Amino acid sequence: MSLKNRWQEFKVGLTPRIKEWRFMLKRMRGSSLAMAGLIIILGYVAMAILAPVIAPPQSSDPFAIPLDKEIRVLQNEQPTPPTFRHIFGTTQYQFDLFYGCIWGSITAFRIGVFVVAISLLVGLLVGTASAYYGGILDETLMRFTDIIIAFPGLILAMALVLAWQQPTLEISISLSLVMISVMVSFVLIFVHPDRRLLAMNQLVLLLGLASSFFFPISISIPLNNLDKVLVAITIVGWPGYARVIRGEVLRIKNEDYVEASRASGSSDIRTIMHHILPNSIYPLLIVATLDIGSIVLSAAALSFIGIGAPEYYADWGQLISRSRFLISDPTLMVRNIHTFLIPGLFISTFVVGWNLLGDALRDVLDPMLRRR
Amino acid sequence: MANLAAYIIRRLVLLVFVVLGVTALIFAVTMMFDPQVRAYLYVRNIQRMDEEGIEGVVMKYGLRDPFYMQYGRWLGEVLQGNLGWSQSTSMPVADAIRTKWPYTFQIVLFAAPIIIFVGIFLGVQSAIHRNDPIDHASRVLSIIGWSLPSFWVGMLLLTVFYNVLNWFPPGPLSRDMFVAVSSPNFMRYTHVDIFDGLLNLRPDVTIDAIRHLILPVVTIVTIDVALLIRVMRSSMLETLNKPYITTAKAKGLSKKVVIYKHARRNALIPVATLSGMLVAGLLGGLMITETVFGYPGLGSWAASAAIGLDMPAVLGYAVLSALVFVVANLIVDILYAYIDPRIRLE
């Protein structure tokens, strides 16, 4: 088949999808709540991108909140209310709130997107495999997810962070090279059998194997507590996705078009990638959008208790936990209200934005609800 | 009924496996600690530990053995009621749980019914008046409620209702009431303040305890009712579109009968599942709320234990909340099978 023919085929295949996207966009624009959510999220994206301009970093680590040493000498612990010098005021120990709130948006996106992306991937793999192949694989995987789900996530995450004392994560590059090339060769064999790519991949595999035996290379990534929290929430979070996608795949697996694809000789991977996933992934996307908000909330809750982000770090939950001293003496709360009111507003609007968007996506994407 | 019995037995067998799995998972997490730290998991009495020395405990319980042997031994200890020694409260974990649970129980006692009834009510109203102002208001409220950090809500409530208005103070009891409760004349029948106050004919203690409960309960309800409203609304909408509702309407039944007798009952089924999970999940959420209000329940105990690196306490709390979660789900599932015969016949 010539390239031009392929392009033609691709364009024809794309037409219904574009039509579908247009329809979704139209529905989205019709709902004011959805637009509000979108605007909030875009606002935060802009804030995150412009952070170096709005609040220029003052040290080599941009996530370290600058602290005002002059005020600290005068009144050590007491927070100061908003002034021209510090638009949002300062927290306990004179950390600048404005800087923390602005750079906190990057942290929030990092938390939400990292956790959701990884849990989505793992959940997708486990859920699809378990539903598509069924049998003993399904039974084992699902009992395992049952165990993790039968558990208040916040507590398991807390226990994990506590137990994980090592300050660094050791990753062996040689071994990961081997694993990646094994996975790539599986994909190549099933989806796109190309001899040249395959040969290249085999070479990488050989190199990886050789290096892991003769001169193993490994890097160690320094981890602060926030990174551990992220990993912990991911470990707790993926089974939810696995369940959702499993249900969807089970529903679709026996449809005639899947049967037709298999009968015409497609491989399992091709059937899954081209026929099952495009028809079952939407509910997962809705769950993912709604999850970003609640993940940011969980991370903030752990930071508030005092086992998340370190105390200088630009993270909204950590900023609020700076005002935990008010809990032991609530009579000071009105005077220091800015220390938790402002970062709390940042968290809440961020999460409201994602939830509005997710709620609207549900109306737009859910085939059961949409064309009414 | 034979079906139901078989279903319950099947679920109980499954429960054993889930409990084993959950405890193994938690225990596996603790295996990341050094044996010297894990020794506290087995100690009932700190004096004995001082006599034997940490290394003695490590040797006695074989804390360098393979995982499955240690897990079996630990499970044996847990079954005998020994959850280890909590360094942050300097008492055995089991005793700490015994002294802390009444406070957490009080909060759940008030919060859970309010969440369930308010959630069902608003969800049904929202579904009946679809796309009316009522619906929009309750949807926006539920989205906002679901998006607020509980510690932030708690601190704002404390600012307004304690610092400004001085209506609802933090903590479990006022000082004079605390003195009254600790006096030898005051019999501790249940260790739950609101009940003991009534049983000792001291209604003022009960009223004071309730006054201290209002803010934590309001915080939890604001956050958790949102999810219930959402699920109830969509379940109700789905039910209202079913053919049998049309039939009921066509028969000429009044709107009230159709909605409350025919639709709401069937729409309640998914909400029942969620309520079970919600009550169990309260334990996790209470960690934050109790900390904010200085309420000495299980949650704030676990949170402070976490900061103090008191591993046995965190482990005990994790095991406890996992058990509550599993048992609550079991009860809900059995109720569910009782209500809906389709489930037990599967």
Is B295 strand, coil or helix? coil
Write down the mean pLDDT value for chain B.
82
pLDDT of residue A2: 66
Q: How far apart are CA A20 and CA A7, in angstroms?
A: 20
Residues 336-355 of A with CB under 8 A from B: 337, 340-341, 344, 347-348, 351-352, 354-355
Q: Are B149 and A324 in contact (CB under 8 A)?
A: no
- Both tokens assigned to B185: 């004349």
Average pLDDT, stretch A207-221? 76
* Nearest alpha-carbon partner for A121 in A217, A242, A301: A242
pLDDT of residue A372: 42
Evaluated on CA atoms A160, A243, A287, B217, the torsion sign reads negative
pLDDT digits (tens, 9 = 90+) for B279-314: 767 776 788 888 888 888 888 888 888 888 888 888
Residue B48 Cα to chain centre, angstroms: 34
Q: How far apart are CA B140 and CA B157, in angstroms?
A: 20
Asked if the model's pLDDT at residue A43 lies above 90, the reply is yes
Helix (H) or strand (E) holding B73: helix B67-79
pLDDT digits (tens, 9 = 90+) for A233-284: 888 888 888 888 888 888 888 888 888 888 888 777 778 888 888 778 888 8
- Fill in the amino acid letter for B181: V
The reply to whether residue A143 touches residue B311, judged by beta carbons under 8 angstroms, is no
Best interface-test mutation with A: which of B34, B37, B159 has the largest number of A CBs within 10 A? B159
* Nearest alpha-carbon partner for A65 in A301, A316, A302: A316
The reply to whether residue B318 touches residue A155, judged by beta carbons under 8 angstroms, is yes
Average pLDDT, stretch A114-137? 86
Asked if the model's pLDDT at residue A45 lies above 90, the reply is yes
- Both tokens assigned to B331: 């009860």
DSSP letters spanning B198-246? HHTT-HHHHHHHHHHHHHHHHHHHHHHHHHHHHHHHHHHHHHHTSHHHH
Per-residue pLDDT band for A219 (boundaries 50, 70, 90) equals confident
Per-residue pLDDT band for A44 (boundaries 50, 70, 90) equals very high
Tell me the percentage of chain B whose pLDDT exceeds 70.
96
Per-residue pLDDT band for A191 (boundaries 50, 70, 90) equals low
pLDDT of residue A135: 77
pLDDT digits (tens, 9 = 90+) for B182-230: 777 777 777 787 787 777 778 888 888 888 889 999 999 988 888 888 8
A64-73, A196-205, A313-322: the lowest-pLDDT one:
A64-73
The reply to whether residue A158 touches residue B314, judged by beta carbons under 8 angstroms, is yes
Compute chain A's Rg from CA coordinates. 25
A336, HSE (Cβ side, Cα atoms, 13 Å): 27
Other Cβ atoms less than 10 A from the Cβ of A84: the count is 5
Is A354 strand, coil or helix? helix
Residue boundaries of the structural domains of chain A: 31-167+223-365
Q: How far apart are CA B302 and CA A283, in angstroms?
A: 35
Average pLDDT, stretch A295-307? 88
- Domain A31-167+223-365 is found in CATH 1.10.490.130: no
pLDDT of residue A349: 93
This model of the complex carries an ipTM of 0.84
pLDDT of residue A348: 93
Identify which of A294, A307, A332 has the shortest CB distance to residue B307: A307
Q: How far apart are CA A38 and CA B184, in angstroms?
A: 61
pLDDT of residue A42: 93
Burial class (CB in 10 A: 0-12, 13-18, 19+), B205: buried
Best interface-test mutation with A: which of B155, B165, B323 has the largest number of A CBs within 10 A? B155
pLDDT of residue A351: 93
Rama region for B61: left / alpha / beta (φ>0; ψ in -120 to 50; rest): alpha
Q: A151 vs chain B: nearest CA distance in angstroms? A: 5
Average pLDDT, stretch B25-30? 82
Q: How far apart are CA A320 and CA A313, in angstroms?
A: 12
Asked if the model's pLDDT at residue A76 lies above 90, the reply is no
pLDDT digits (tens, 9 = 90+) for B42-88: 777 777 777 777 777 777 777 777 778 888 888 888 888 788 888 78
Burial class (CB in 10 A: 0-12, 13-18, 19+), A6: exposed
Helix (H) or strand (E) holding B25: helix B2-30
Average pLDDT, stretch A285-289? 84
